[in-house]
Structure 1
Amino acid sequence: MPEISEPQSGDQQPRSIRLTDPRALRAYAHPLRMSLVGLLRSSGPFTATRAAGLTGESVASCSYHLRILAKYGLVEEAPGGRGREKPWRATARYTEWPEYSEDTSIAEAADALSAAVAERYFERVTKAMENRHRLSREWREAEQFGDSLLHLTPEELAGLGERIDELLRPYEERASDPSLRPEGARPVSILRIAYLDQDIPDSEEE
Structure 2
Amino acid sequence: MSEELPAIRLTDPRALRAYAHPTRMALVGLLRLHGPLTATRAAELLGTESVASCSFHLRQLAKYGLVEEAGGGRGREKPWRATAAFTSWDASPADPEQAAATEALQRAVLDGYFARTTSWLLHRGADAPEWREAAGFGDSAVLVTAAELAELNARIEELTRPYVERLGGSGPHPEGARPVQLIQLAVPTDTPEAKAP
Is TM > 0.5 for Structure 1 vs Structure 2? yes
Alpha carbons 1:75, 1:90 under 8 Å: kept:
yes
What number of residue pairs does the alignment pair up? 190
Q: Which residue of 1 aligns with 2:171?
A: 179
Which residues of 2 match residues 23-172 of structure 1 at below 5 A?
23-55=14-46, 56-82=48-74, 85-172=77-164
Deviation at 1:176, TM superposition (A): 2.1
Q: Which residue of 2 aligns with 1:9?
A: none
Deviation at 1:192, TM superposition (A): 0.5
Q: Which amino acid aligns with 2:179?
A: P
Alpha carbons 1:76, 1:89 under 8 Å: kept:
yes
CA distance in 2, matches of 1:132, 1:192: 21
Structure with the higher helix share, 1 or 2: 2
CA distance in 2, matches of 1:190, 1:84: 32
Cα deviations by residue, 1:147-176 (Å, 9 ceiling, x for unpaired):
111111111111100000110112222112
Deviation at 1:179, TM superposition (A): 2.8
Q: Which amino acid aligns with 1:30?
A: H
Highest RCO, 1 vs 2 (Cα 8 Å, sep ≥ 6) = 1
Deviation at 1:25, TM superposition (A): 0.2
Q: Which residue of 2 aligns with 1:4?
A: none
The SS at the match of 1:148 is: coil
Aligned-residue RMSD, C-alpha:
1.8
CA distance in 1, matches of 2:131, 2:33: 21
Alpha carbons 1:173, 1:180 under 8 Å: kept:
no
TM-score (norm. length: structure 1): 0.85
Alpha carbons 2:73, 2:79 under 8 Å: kept:
yes
Q: Which amino acid aligns with 1:95?
A: T
> Unaligned regions of 5+ residues in structure 1, if any?
1-11, 202-206
The SS at the match of 1:131 is: helix
Q: Percent identity?
A: 58
The SS at the match of 2:184 is: coil
